[in-house]
Chain A
């Protein structure tokens, strides 16, 4: 199908940046402290706003190389310095949090930012929060199922009544602060679990496909499943988004030179903890090519790839996970600037001219 995404689902195109709170290095190549990392993220969010990016998201992590365990606080600092950009989690590990607290924190942020909050809920592929907060990994299905159900109740507004097995029941509970207008947009991030796709539709959440490896086009059946499930549950159409990692620089060569050594270092680390093979220059070439999941290159290269995949996946939102751990702060800021001023207008142009 050649329909532009906005035609297919009726939603305007929007573009975001996601960070996991990756620790970057200064101009001498020395890794920044956690505190400096956090202050830099505020600077990045403010820059993102000034170059016209629609959304800035912080993914909850609890590790030395991703010290962003309280992203909502960082977002409130960004909110205070910006006017337009939407702010949210990418993702909130709902399974190991209390939905009531998550709602309270983000409805507070929504008040502070005058209605610019979006929340993305995840089951948690980054599993460091489970042992930290005393949850058993074997319970992740029931935790996520119950908590995403409760969160949907909270979004409808108070009073809230809910019973389950994973937290205390609520009976006609007033949960504050109340929302000013209708609830903020809430998405479920899905990495390939069809149950999660159906769950998103059942509770009326938007869908974000987290595509971190392999061919993005293979996710098309998941978009179809979501649209079909929305119909099945007699819900109105809702937007689909894509989250993938990448890096933009002036030229393909520069982007690859900056990104590859950082990516390799991160993947070596991840391989050790997850038990899989380390990427090779060949597998990397494949991932950054048209059939891979990583968006590295010049604004033209990255824009073409984003446009193609939004189209295939019936998606109207793209979120670039930028700023691979260890990149220089200046390269990261340059990436944000190019994404806002070059990539996004190009994608709009490519998709607009087709509709």
Chain B
């Protein structure tokens, strides 16, 4: 391990995807003290410059290496690439799914065209050896850095964290809190559907209280 000793207590974040979203998450995770590795679809040389400038302090590596070393894998690839993603890469890992499915933007993806399930439930079914947690999907990547606030700030925003595995959810909730957001825990990936595009949380900047309000209204309706 080459990470400084002060950070070795925090889990290693492995980001798969170096596009709009991956580096933005990597940057704030590093500033929160987490060791971070990042990969594009292949040779780390291709993302060396991006890593050096946009995620200073992160290690660029091959996807398999990033996944293998990570305690939390952040899956930040385009949804239309998911059907070619190899589940064995992340077997046994906690995987944060921040992908969104919205047909007008992504084109129709047959795999996700099942109204009974949320997109993260479908992701979990394919990554059967991983513990999938849905989070970070409903915030704009371009605001994730500017909207961070210390715990207790009146204008601190909330991010939903949904999953079927309590321990995994808590690990990701701690990441959310350490980055600078209140974590609102949802009991299952099925509940996590409220975080999807078209829902009341997506793209809305909500505090913990406003988030709770939305959840109550939803249950009452």
Interface, chain A (partner B; CB < 8 A): 127, 130, 136-138, 191-195, 198, 213-215, 218, 221-222, 224-225, 228-229, 232, 271, 273-277, 283, 291
Contacts and interface: CB of A to CB of B under 8 A. Distances in A.
Contacts of B35: none
Contact of A198 (B20, B49, B145, B146): B49
A218 B80 contact: no
A192 B20 contact: yes
Q: Which of A195, A221, A225, A275 has the most CB of B within 10 A?
A: A275
Contact of B49 (A215, A228, A275): A228
A94 to B, nearest CB: 18
Taking residues whose C-beta sits less than 8 angstroms from the other chain, chain B's interface range is 20 to 34
A194 B200 CA distance: 30
Query: Which 9 residue pairs spanning A and B have beta carbons closest together?
Result: A276-B203, A275-B197, A277-B204, A137-B107, A138-B80, A275-B198, A194-B50, A225-B53, A277-B203
Contacts of A228: 49, 52-53
Contacts of B221: none
16 contacts: A127-B105, A136-B107, A138-B106, A138-B107, A192-B20, A194-B54, A195-B19, A218-B142, A221-B53, A225-B49, A232-B49, A273-B104, A274-B105, A275-B100, A275-B198, A277-B200
A229 B203 contact: no
A224 B202 contact: no
Q: Which residue, A224, A225, A283, has most C-beta atoms of chain B within 10 A?
A: A225
B70 to A, nearest CB: 21
A285 to B, nearest CB: 13
Nearest to B106: A137
B16 to A, nearest CB: 15
Contacts of A271: 203
Nearest to A276: B203
A229 B140 CA distance: 26
A73 B145 CA distance: 42
A273 B203 CA distance: 13
A274 B104 CA distance: 7
B62 interface: no
Contacts of A224: 53
A218 B145 CA distance: 8
B53 A275 contact: no
A291 B105 contact: no
Contact of B146 (A218, A229, A273): A218
Interface string B85-124: 0000000000000001010111100000000000000000
A331 B195 CA distance: 39
Nearest to B83: A138
B21 to A, nearest CB: 9
A283 B210 CA distance: 15
B192 interface: no
Contacts of A195: 18-19, 50
A215 B146 CA distance: 7
B49 A229 contact: yes
Nearest to B102: A275
Contacts of A232: 49
A216 to B, nearest CB: 10
Most buried by A among B52, B54, B100: B54
Given A274-B102, A275-B198, A277-B202, A192 B142 contact: yes
Contacts of B23: 194
B50 A225 contact: yes
A276 B146 contact: no
Interface string B17-35: 0111001000000000000
Given A127-B105, A213-B140, A276 B49 contact: no
Nearest to A130: B107
B143 interface: yes
B188 interface: no
Most chain B CB atoms below 10 A, which of A136, A194, A213: A194
A273 B201 CA distance: 16
A136 B53 CA distance: 32
Contacts of A137: 80, 105-107
Given A218-B142, A221-B53, A276-B197, A193 B19 contact: yes
Interface string B182-200: 0000000000000011111
A192 B18 CA distance: 11
Nearest to A277: B204
Nearest to A127: B105
B54 A221 contact: yes
Contacts of A291: 146
A291 to B, nearest CB: 7
Nearest to A136: B107
Given A138-B107, A274-B203, A277-B202, 6 more contacts: A137-B105, A215-B143, A221-B53, A232-B49, A277-B201, A277-B204
B124 to A, nearest CB: 21
A267 to B, nearest CB: 10
Contacts of B18: 194-195
Interface in B122-170: 140-143, 145-146
